[in-house]
């Protein structure tokens, strides 16, 4: 059967941007910039983009586009034994999206309740923990489901299924909406916030450069981790997406557009977030660092609280509340389905099942695996799993990939593939990044994370949850990936075999 293809190049680029631009751009990037020297952070950020983000995304695009396979198949074409290196990112993606859907489930509640007014003018902390999550006392007390979360999660999965089920070409149409609408919505939030008293001070805090941080090692680490995470690297996504492109499409251009569009969304989010936080700080007469946070607390407690302070009454507040949470949903949905697609590509390359059936199966498994995140202890488990999968799953995925390409396959083989088909060409500095810089940075991050987590168990949770949702989950990713890599493909046709012998010359 003919491989699924994007309808056109723009759809592919939008899908890649859609995957990259997610919750991390909105709730992580602004805070990381603020915390790490404001405008001065742009230096480590761009250095990390150029030395790691761009080389790696080009590598992932090339792997997929050249081999016309998702991550496991692409890596297996380099060497049979490397199939495991391709399943690891795919299974890590599975874990991430199992809880990413939970976060989207919360956001649906805020959208719906902007109409009922449940959090409008109310205490958003109380609303989030007690009304939405109905939070239990700790990870070991599941306490049954929070139905409001469960409903949101079910809605998210249904949506993802309908987006993916008709294949790549129809996904290519959906991304026009899911990528462009958060940009428009962010513009609305920026315009609203910049005219508020205190907004400019907030933005100043966000960007005011403090160059002294450049000598601080941690700032550089933050820059590299943000770049890996924000570009959705090491998850098999960019490989899968590129495998639906014709083999001769321009790689460097596509990669640069994706990277800079994603950074654009990050910067815009920074203005929207810090403009509003600046207003809130002034309103409450507190310093900005007291209100500046990242992650779940920022998106579900602090920001809606700031929206509650907007002048104009409940209708205006409700309107901006909906704008903000629909921004999160549209930012998140295309990151979520890209994670699913990484799985669908991996499985449908290997097993002789109809793609639609695989999509449905993967989504059903994800729904079941993710049920724990809809329980009253969901937030705790999400916090633990998120920490471990980002610190180990994603990083190990990147290490395995760069070792396979940089040390076994030899980077020049890929460079000789992407340069001739690209308008801009990359010199041999790219090889150095793939062979040395990226794996060294990643191995360094891995060791640092290991030391930190062994010394102080994450988040103050006890050892049981730490083992189940953390180390056990990571070992599980390894076991499942290994098992899948050892299973015989039901799809090996003559074509694949001859490709393998050529080894991608
Ligand atoms: N890149 C997305 C973000 O910044 C998150 C993500 C990571 C999505 C890994 C998919 C895979 O929010």
Average pLDDT, the chain: 94
Name the 3-class secondary structure at 7.
coil
Handedness of CA 306, 308, 313, 317 (dihedral sign): positive
Is residue 162 pLDDT above 60, yes or no? yes
For ligand 1, the distance from its centroid to the CA atom of residue 331, given in whole angstroms, is 10
Q: Residue 333: which of 166, 149, 151, 156 has the closest Cα?
A: 156
pLDDT > 70 fraction of the chain, expressed in percent and rounded: 97
> pLDDT tens for residues 344-388?
999 999 998 999 999 999 999 999 999 999 999 999 999 999 999
Q: How confident is the model at residue 494 (pLDDT cuts 50, 70, 90)?
A: very low
User: For a pocket test of ligand 1, which of 90, 92, 100, 229 has the largest count of ligand atoms closer than 8 A to its C-beta?
Assistant: 229
For residues 352 and 333, is the Cβ–Cβ distance under 8 A? no
> Per-residue DSSP letters for 224-285?
HHHHHHHTTTTSSHHHHHHTTS-TTS-HHHHHHHHHHHHHHHHHHHHHHHHHHHHHHHHHHT
19 lines ligand 1 (CB under 6 A): yes
Q: Which atom of ligand 1 is nearest to the CA of 235?
A: 11
User: For a pocket test of ligand 1, which of 20, 27, 101, 299 has the largest count of ligand atoms closer than 8 A to its C-beta?
Assistant: 20
For residues 422-439, average pLDDT = 97
Q: Which atom of ligand 1 is nearest to the CA of 229?
A: 7
Which backbone phi and psi does 149 adopt, to 5 degrees? -70, -45
Strand (E) or helix (H) holding 174: helix 168-194
**In whole angstroms, what is the distance from residue 28 CA to residue 445 CA?**
18
Q: How confident is the model at residue 2 (pLDDT cuts 50, 70, 90)?
A: confident
Q: Which atom of ligand 1 is nearest to the CA of 29?
A: 4
pTM of full prediction above 0.85: yes
For residues 101 and 332, is the Cβ–Cβ distance under 8 A? no
Is residue 389 pLDDT above 50, yes or no? yes
> pLDDT tens for residues 108-138?
999 999 999 999 999 999 999 999 999 999 9
**In whole angstroms, what is the distance from residue 323 CA to residue 334 CA?**
17
CA atoms within 13 A on the CB side of 194: 10
Q: What is the pLDDT of residue 505?
A: 37
Is residue 302 pLDDT above 60, yes or no? yes
For residues 137 and 461, is the Cβ–Cβ distance under 8 A? no
Q: Is 337 exposed, middle or buried (0-12, 13-18, 19+ CB in 10 A)?
A: buried
Which tokens belong to 439?
């794996």
Is residue 458 pLDDT above 50, yes or no? yes
Q: What is the pLDDT of residue 94?
A: 98
Is residue 256 pLDDT above 80, yes or no? yes
**In whole angstroms, what is the distance from residue 146 CA to residue 142 CA?**
10
For ligand 1, the distance from its centroid to the CA atom of residue 386, given in whole angstroms, is 12
**In whole angstroms, what is the distance from residue 73 CA to residue 85 CA?**
10
Q: What is the pLDDT of residue 498?
A: 46
Q: Which residues pair with 138 in a beta bridge?
A: none
């Amino acid at each position: 059967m003919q491989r699924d293809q994007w309808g056109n190049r723009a759809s592919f680029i939008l899908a890649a941007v859609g995957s990259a631009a997610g919750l991390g751009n909105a709730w992580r990037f602004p805070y990381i910039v603020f915390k790490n020297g404001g405008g001065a952070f742009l230096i480590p950020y761009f250095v990390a983009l150029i030395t790691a983000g761009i080389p790696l995304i080009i590598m992932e695009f090339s792997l997929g586009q050249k081999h016309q396979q998702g991550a496991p198949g692409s890596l297996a074409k380099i060497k049979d034994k490397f199939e495991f290196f391709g399943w690891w990112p795919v299974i890590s993606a599975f874990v991430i999206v199992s809880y990413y859907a939970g976060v989207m489930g919360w956001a649906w509640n805020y959208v719906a309740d902007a109409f009922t007014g449940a959090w409008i003018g109310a205490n958003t902390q109380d609303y989030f923990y007690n009304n939405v999550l109905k939070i239990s006392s700790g990870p070991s007390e599941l306490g049954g489901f929070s139905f409001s979360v469960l409903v949101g999660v079910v809605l998210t999965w249904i949506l993802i299924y309908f987006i993916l089920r008709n294949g790549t070409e129809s996904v290519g149409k959906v991304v026009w909406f899911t990528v462009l609408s958060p940009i428009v919505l962010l513009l609305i939030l920026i315009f609203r916030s910049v005219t508020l008293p205190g907004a400019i001070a907030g933005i100043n805090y966000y960007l005011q450069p403090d160059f002294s941080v450049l000598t601080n090692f941690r700032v550089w680490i933050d820059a590299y981790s943000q770049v890996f995470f924000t570009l959705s690297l090491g998850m098999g996504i960019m490989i899968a997406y590129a495998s639906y492109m014709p083999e001769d499409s321009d790689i460097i251009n596509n990669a640069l557009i994706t990277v800079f569009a994603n950074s654009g969304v990050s910067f815009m989010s920074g203005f929207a977030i810090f403009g509003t936080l600046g207003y809130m700080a002034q309103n409450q007469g507190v310093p900005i660092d007291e209100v500046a946070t990242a992650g779940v607390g920022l998106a579900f407690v602090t920001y809606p609280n700031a929206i509650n302070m907007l002048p104009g009454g409940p209708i205006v507040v409700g309107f901006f509340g909906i704008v903000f949470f629909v921004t999160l949903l549209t930012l998140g949905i295309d990151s979520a389905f890209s994670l699913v697609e990484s799985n669908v590509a991996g499985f449908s390359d290997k097993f002789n099942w109809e793609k639609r059936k695989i999509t449905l199966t993967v989504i059903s498994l994800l729904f079941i695996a993710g049920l724990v995140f809809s329980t009253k202890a969901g937030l705790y488990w999400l916090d633990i799993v998120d920490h471990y999968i980002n610190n180990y799953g994603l990083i190990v995925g990147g290490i395995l990939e760069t070792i396979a390409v940089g040390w076994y396959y030899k980077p020049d083989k890929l460079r000789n593939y992407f340069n001739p088909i690209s308008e801009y060409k990359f010199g041999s500095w790219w090889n150095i990044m793939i062979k040395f810089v990226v794996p060294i940075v990643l191995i360094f991050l891995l060791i640092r994370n290991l030391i930190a987590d062994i010394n102080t168990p994450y988040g103050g949770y006890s050892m049981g949850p730490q083992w189940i949702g953390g180390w056990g989950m990571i070992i599980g990713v390894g076991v499942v990936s290994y098992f899948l890599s050892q299973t015989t493909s039901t799809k090996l046709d003559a074509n694949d075999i001859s490709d393998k012998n050529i080894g991608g010359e």
